[in-house]
């Protein structure tokens, strides 16, 4: 079943006489234009549709949209609200008078002049949420007058429509409003915008060949280019595309009509990080950069094609995500980056500390913004790191923060269960102590739950080779005894192995040696106390607990032994000793 569009939802609310609507969007102009187009379209199909659009701002006062009525020079928000109330009060008096006349049977009725704003008026109120805040000196008067208006709007067909980039509704008004999220540009709208931008950017007839080159390149790379522009507002998309087209037109050696997707993604990174809630993370880590975790790697590679159209046509459900459990430093964060790299989609990270705000309702707003951004950029990987720190109060009911933690956690759980967009969630936790049972359930929210344990001997050798290559580069001795060092590194995490190699590099340099040798690394191992030792009981208990509750991300280590099978006598008889 096709989901309802913003236009469908908005016009339905207008038709049923909803008195107050709150539209959450950064795209005020595009939103108002779509509302105007929706009204005009509905008028053409329904001749009796008499509603009019009036836009109020503190700079222009009241202006009517698509109707030839003179503007009203009322610019103060309290004066506007008083005018709206006076107009609707007059209309109510007129309606009452008409009813009385009809009841008395008086046929000689006077010609009645209805107030302009008294009936069938939809008031568009951009930025009006600022007047609900404590910083507005007339806040109480404005809210009281708005409540009075809303209570009288039903019979006369009036509606207040607040348009703002974030939802801010005081308790006095929140039950009166229906909140709508204005959709980011759809794939079809992005395609139309790109086509129009090509034509407007290359208006010179002498550059017609360039226009054709851009159009051909877009046709061949449509999916990749559209995905790069998803998550932009229309204005942001126009800006990024204009710069990409401008750079290509000035390309040394001549224009080939190519859109630099990497340049577009750099603009997207800036746009996403403006919120301060979601960050755009680099995905220059591939699976070869991670030692071990072979079972996890195989699981991801098997699902690499599951985001594509071929998988949708086959009927595959969209992959939902994985939960990685394990001690700190075992490679969970690296795995998230590698997963995004394999799937060839953006990696979005959430700064958990920024989710919770000091103002009432701010935390809930932030988590909704996180979900909105992730869906607008999809397909993408959303990386939720160290969940236990974010939701430590969820099991206790959020008693220490008026239930904020519990509400935020509930929002995340609901979104993970019901989201439609292809957002693959990679969540990590060092401990499951504070994670409610519903978060540990496979199927609805996660496709699999993996336990990332301390690396095995084989994995430690692989990690050591990767770190030596990364840290030491050409300074590593070609005869390093990786096998012996991997044995010495027992109970070290991947992060600790990296630290050991970095320390060995410093020691080699300090000793005046030209290369990092086995004894440098061995010395660093001896001088490093791993977490396994400093928090031994806690680590052991945690590992034993997680082993029972999650699938291992690594293959079990083969038993190493010097035992040799005894040979049988040459004649095949029994050997007696």
DSSP one-letter string for 338-404: HHHHHHT--EEEE-HHHHS-SSTTHHHHHHHHHHHHHHHH-SEEEEE--HHHHSTTTTTTTGGGTTH
Q: Report which of 224, 306, 292 is spatially closest to residue 258, judged by C-alpha positions.
A: 224
Range ranked top by mean pLDDT from 20-24, 165-169, 291-295, 402-406: 20-24
- pLDDT score recorded for residue 319: 85
301 by DSSP, 3-state: which? helix
How many Cβ atoms from other residues are within 10 Å of residue 470's Cβ? Answer: 12
- pLDDT for 566 beyond 70: no
**Mean predicted lDDT score pLDDT of the chain:** 86
Mean pLDDT value across residues 21-38: 95
pLDDT digits (tens, 9 = 90+) for 203-253: 676 677 888 889 999 999 998 899 889 889 999 999 999 999 888 888 888
Total residue length of the chain: 577
- pLDDT for 575 beyond 60: no
Least confident of 73-87, 385-399, 473-487: 385-399
> How confident is residue 488, by pLDDT bands cut at 50, 70 and 90?
very high
> How confident is residue 570, by pLDDT bands cut at 50, 70 and 90?
very low
- pLDDT score recorded for residue 219: 92
- pLDDT score recorded for residue 399: 46
> How confident is residue 577, by pLDDT bands cut at 50, 70 and 90?
very low
Percentage of the residues of the chain whose pLDDT score is greater than 90 = 48
CB 219 within 8 A of CB 257: no
446 by DSSP, 3-state: which? strand
- pLDDT score recorded for residue 311: 80
At 426, phi and psi to the nearest 5? -115, 105
Give the separation between CA 485 and CA 90, rounded to whole angstroms: 89
Q: What DSSP element (H or E) covers 314?
A: helix 309-314
> How confident is residue 554, by pLDDT bands cut at 50, 70 and 90?
very high
Token pair of 70, please? 């003179």
Token pair of 424, please? 């693959």
Which residue stretches of 454-549 are H helix? 457-467, 482-488, 494-510, 518-526, 531-534, 536-549
> How confident is residue 345, by pLDDT bands cut at 50, 70 and 90?
confident
- pLDDT for 1 beyond 70: no
Mean pLDDT value across residues 381-401: 68
Q: Report which of 271, 319, 340 is spatially closest to residue 421, judged by C-alpha positions.
A: 319
- pLDDT score recorded for residue 564: 37
Mean pLDDT value across residues 14-20: 95
> How confident is residue 313, by pLDDT bands cut at 50, 70 and 90?
confident
Token pair of 297, please? 């790697």
Identify which has the larger pLDDT, 73 or 418: 73
> Which strands, in side-by-side order, build the sheet including 178-181?
61-65, 52-57, 121-126, 159-164, 20-24, 178-181
> How confident is residue 322, by pLDDT bands cut at 50, 70 and 90?
very high
Token pair of 572, please? 């095949």
pLDDT digits (tens, 9 = 90+) for 64-87: 997 888 999 999 999 999 999 999
pLDDT digits (tens, 9 = 90+) for 157-204: 999 999 999 888 998 999 999 999 998 898 999 999 999 988 887 767
Mean pLDDT value across residues 407-433: 85
Mean pLDDT value across residues 343-361: 77
- Cis status, amide bond into 379, omega within 30 of 0: yes
Give the separation between CA 34 and CA 32, rounded to whole angstroms: 5
- pLDDT score recorded for residue 234: 93
- pLDDT for 97 beyond 80: yes
- pLDDT for 63 beyond 50: yes
Least confident of 417-421, 423-427, 524-528: 417-421
> Which strands, in side-by-side order, build the sheet including 551-552?
278-281, 347-350, 380-384, 423-429, 321-325, 448-451, 551-552
């Amino acid at each position: 079943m096709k989901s309802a569009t913003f236009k469908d939802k908005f016009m339905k609310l207008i038709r049923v006489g909803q008195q107050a609507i709150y539209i959450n969007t950064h795209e005020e102009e595009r939103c108002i234009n779509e509302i105007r187009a929706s009204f005009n379209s509905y008028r053409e199909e329904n001749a009796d549709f008499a509603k009019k659009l009036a836009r109020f701002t503190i700079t222009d006062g009241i202006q009517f949209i698509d109707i030839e009525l003179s503007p009203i020079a009322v610019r103060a928000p309290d004066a506007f609200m008083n005018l709206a109330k006076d107009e609707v009060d007059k209309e109510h008096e007129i309606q009452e008078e008409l009813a009385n006349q009809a009841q008395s049977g008086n046929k000689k009725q006077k010609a009645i002049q209805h107030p302009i704003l008294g009936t069938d008026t939809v008031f568009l109120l951009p930025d009006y949420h600022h007047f609900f805040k404590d910083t507005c000196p007339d806040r109480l008067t404005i809210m009281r007058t708005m409540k009075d208006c809303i209570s009288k709007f039903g019979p006369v067909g009036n509606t207040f429509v607040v348009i703002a980039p974030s939802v801010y509704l005081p308790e006095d008004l929140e039950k009166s409003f229906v909140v709508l999220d204005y959709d980011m540009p759809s794939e079809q709208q992005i395609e139309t915008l790109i086509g129009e931008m090509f034509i407007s950017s290359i208006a010179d007839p002498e550059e017609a060949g360039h226009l054709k080159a851009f159009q051909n390149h877009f046709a061949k790379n449509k999916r990749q280019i559209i995905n790069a522009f998803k998550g932009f507002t229309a204005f942001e998309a126009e800006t990024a595309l204009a710069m990409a087209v401008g750079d290509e037109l000035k390309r040394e050696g001549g224009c080939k009509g190519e859109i630099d997707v990497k340049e577009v993604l750099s603009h997207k990174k800036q746009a996403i990080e403006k919120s301060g809630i979601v960050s755009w993370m680099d995905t220059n880590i591939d699976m070869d950069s991670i030692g071990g975790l072979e079972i996890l790697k195989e699981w991801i590679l098997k699902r690499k094609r599951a985001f594509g159209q071929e998988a949708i046509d086959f009927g595959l459900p969209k992959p939902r995500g994985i939960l990685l459990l394990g001690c700190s430093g075992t490679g969970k964060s690296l795995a998230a980056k590698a997963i995004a790299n394999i799937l060839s989609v953006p990696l979005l990270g959430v700064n958990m500390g920024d989710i919770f705000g000091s103002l009432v309702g701010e935390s809930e707003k932030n988590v909704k913004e996180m979900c909105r951004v992730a869906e607008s950029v999809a397909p993408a990987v959303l990386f939720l790191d160290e969940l236990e720190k974010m939701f430590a109060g969820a099991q206790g009911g959020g008693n220490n923060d008026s239930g904020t933690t519990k509400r935020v956690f509930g929002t995340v759980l609901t979104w993970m269960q019901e989201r439609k967009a292809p957002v693959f969630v990679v969540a990590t936790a060092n401990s499951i102590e504070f994670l409610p049972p519903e978060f540990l359930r496979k199927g609805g929210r996660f496709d699999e739950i993996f336990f990332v344990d301390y690396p095995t001997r084989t994995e430690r050798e692989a990690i050591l080779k990767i770190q030596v290559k990364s840290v030491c580069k050409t300074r590593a001795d070609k005869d390093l005894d990786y096998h012996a060092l991997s044995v010495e590194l027992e109970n070290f995490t991947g992060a600790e192995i990296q630290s050991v190699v970095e320390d060995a590099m410093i020691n080699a340099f300090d000793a005046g040696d030209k290369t990092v040798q086995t004894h440098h690394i061995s010395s660093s191992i001896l001088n490093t106390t791993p977490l396994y030792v400093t928090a031994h009981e806690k680590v052991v208990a945690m590992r034993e607990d997680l082993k029972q509750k999650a699938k291992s991300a690594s293959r079990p280590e083969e038993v190493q032994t010097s035992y040799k099978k005894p040979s049988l006598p040459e004649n095949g008889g029994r050997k007696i000793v």
